[in-house]
Amino acid sequence: MRTFTAKTAEIQRQWYVVDAQGQTLGRLASRIAPILKGKHKPTYTPHLDCGDYVIVVNVDKVRVTGRKLDQKIYYHHTLYPGGIKSISLRDQLAQHPDRVLLAASKACCPRIDWAGR
């Protein structure tokens, strides 16, 4: 039996629509990450981008457990001296709920090239 390797021209992409209303943030991210990477397909090839497209609706209605709304902090740096900025999960969900799910999905599947998605 020979090892199968997909070619770039053979990759077929599909679109998935996911409703995030009432779903837990981490569990949702762990279900989305393999779809983005393509690990749910039998033609998965690690060195190629064979993942599918995912559209998530109602991201602002995602659920978090415990006291994460106030205790979880997101950090970024402005690249200036002393430029560390922080924002809580509650404020991030109010301002940019898509960034919360993107950060969680990045953590679940760190080898994805996120520049094009």
CA–CA distances in Å: residue 93 to residues 37, 68, 76, 99, 114: 25, 12, 16, 8, 21
DSSP 96-116: -HHHHHHHHHHHH-TTS-GGG
**pLDDT tens profile 56-109:** 999 999 999 999 999 999 999 999 999 999 999 999 999 999 999 999 998 887
The whole-number pLDDT of residue 4 equals: 83
The whole-number pLDDT of residue 95 equals: 96
Give the single-character DSSP code of 47: T
End-to-end CA distance of the chain: 35
18 strand-pairing partners? 56
Look up residue 86 and give its two tokens. 């922080």
Average pLDDT over residues 28-40: 93
Domain annotation for the chain: domains and CATH numbers: 13-64+93-110 (3.90.1180.10)
* Average pLDDT for the chain: 91
CA distance linking residue 54 with residue 67, whole number of Å: 28
- Does 117 have pLDDT greater than 60? no
